[in-house]
């Protein structure tokens, strides 16, 4: 990361959604890791929730957060695999205005160094809609570390050069 010391850090408000049929508040370890990293980076955890692997429930939650002016970005963990219950990318497709294809590509490149070809089973995904970024990470602890440490920590830091997601936020709603 090329942090420009001349730039001022601008914290953003991030909502965190765990998608799982098996995890609850007491054992949501990937959500805990992300919450810790969000706060350590200097951002605010705006909201946190767990939803079952149900596309319509995920869409409802995403739309509520997208419409909440206090939420700048949403990070999800879980539901990005290949099984029938993995529906997070399909939920994102229902709310998206634009894909951010490079996010999934970079994620899989980073993940390849950790888990090899098994990374092809990941459908990590990112979109932007109505001025809100949504990043979908797999549900494993290693995957959320790879996604946050390797991509989001830099791109959600307003000091990152040559560019970052934060500096684009004021223009996301332009037509």
Q: Say if residue 175's pLDDT is above 80.
A: no
Q: Give per-residue pLDDT as tens, 47-95.
A: 999 999 999 999 999 999 999 999 999 999 999 999 999 999 999 999 9
Rounded Cα gap, residues 122 and 137, in angstroms: 9
Higher-pLDDT residue of 113 and 3 is 113
| Other residues' Cβ atoms within 10 Å of the Cβ of residue 163 | 9
1 found inside a domain: no
Preceding peptide of 162 cis, ω within 30°: yes
CATH of the domain at 62: 3.40.980.10
Residue 88 belongs to what domain range?
A: 11-167
Q: Is the pTM of this model over 0.85?
A: yes
Q: What letter would DSSP give residue 118?
A: G
> Is residue 82 in a domain?
yes
Please tell me the total count of domains within the chain: 1
């Amino acid at each position: 990361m090329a942090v420009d010391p001349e730039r001022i850090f601008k914290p953003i408000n991030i909502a965190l959604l765990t998608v799982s049929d098996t995890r609850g508040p007491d054992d949501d370890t990937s959500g805990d890791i992300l919450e810790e990293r969000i706060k350590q980076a200097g951002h605010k955890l705006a909201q946190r929730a767990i939803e079952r692997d149900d596309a319509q429930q995920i869409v409802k939650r995403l739309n509520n957060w997208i419409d909440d002016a206090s939420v700048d970005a949403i990070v999800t963990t879980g539901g990005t695999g290949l099984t029938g219950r993995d529906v997070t990318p399909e939920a994102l497709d229902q709310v998206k205005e634009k894909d951010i294809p490079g996010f999934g590509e970079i994620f899989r490149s980073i993940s390849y160094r950790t888990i090899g070809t098994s990374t092809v089973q990941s459908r990590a995904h990112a979109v932007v809609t109505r001025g809100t970024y949504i990043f979908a990470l797999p549900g494993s602890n290693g995957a959320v570390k790879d996604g946050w440490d390797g991509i989001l920590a830099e791109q959600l830091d307003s000091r990152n050069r040559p560019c970052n997601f934060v500096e684009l936020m004021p223009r996301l709603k332009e037509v």
